[in-house]
Amino acid sequence: MNLVFLRRIITTSIGRKLIMAVTGLLLVGFVSFHLMSNLVLLNGQEAYNTYVEHLTGVPFLLFIELGLLSLFLTHILMGIYVRWEDYRNSPSGYKKRNWQGGRTIGSATMLYSAVTILIFLVYHIITFRLSDHSIGFYEMVTNAFRDPIFATIYVLGGLAMVLHLSHGVQSIFQTLGINHQKYTPFIKLGGWIIALTMAAFALLPLIFLFGLESHFMGMLH
């Protein structure tokens, strides 16, 4: 068996980028689905609780969750490794250095947005996944959203997602070798649209914090 093609994916720079891009793409798929699920909150207690019961009732849930966990872990650990390597190799010691317009706010803050998402993620899993669900999902989530500190962490997490994906989405395409003068402008635009959609993660807690949920009730049917 010749496994050199697998070894190259782990040991070469382009291979590692491929891992970042593929896990990133799958994570974009996951968070998009997660966001749609969150929006069901706006349809009220009954709708949300029924929805979550369906969702958590799927067979092999544990395997799906483990798959998701390994997806996150691969992305995070490879991200940290690649960045550590870059940190060692990057040009340093300049007395003066100006960026020339290639970088964007999103790309220059990739590591900071990543760390923010990571902190958010750990907090999110502790408070919602490993917590006591007995009062009902809707109650648990909306009570949490009405807590200003909790809401703040969510808003920061959501905004970090906007930043991370403002660079990340178009970056996936470039890494996978898709760059074309006809399509790249649309890919970049699409990347921003997906990124800005992530602001909804930040908006939901604010809606509940300020008690505005009744205005949205029934809007999403």
Per DSSP, 177 falls in state T
For position 160 contacting ligand HEM by CB under 6 A, the verdict is no
For residue 170, how far is the Cα from the chain centroid?
A: 15
Q: Does 16 bind ligand HEM (CB under 6 A)?
A: no
Cβ atoms < 10 Å from Cβ of 52: 19
Residue 203: which region, alpha, beta or left (left: phi > 0; alpha: psi -120 to 50)?
Answer: alpha
> Can residue 105 be called a binding residue for another protein (CB under 8 A)?
no
One residue of 57, 59, 62, 93 binding another protein per CB under 8 A: 93
- Considering the complex, state which of residue 18 and residue 209 has its C-beta at the smaller distance from ligand HEM: 18
**From residue 93 to residue 132, what is the string marking binding to ligand HEM with x (rule CB under 6 A)?**
--------------x--xx--x--xx--x-----------
Q: How far apart are CA 85 and CA 79, in angstroms?
A: 10
Q: Which two tokens stand for residue 51?
A: 């929805």
Span between the terminal Cα atoms of the chain, in Å: 53
Using CB under 8 A, pick the residue from 50, 74, 152, 174 that binds another protein: 174
The residue range among 8-16, 74-82, 180-188, 200-208 that interacts with ligand HEM, by the rule CB under 6 A, is: 74-82
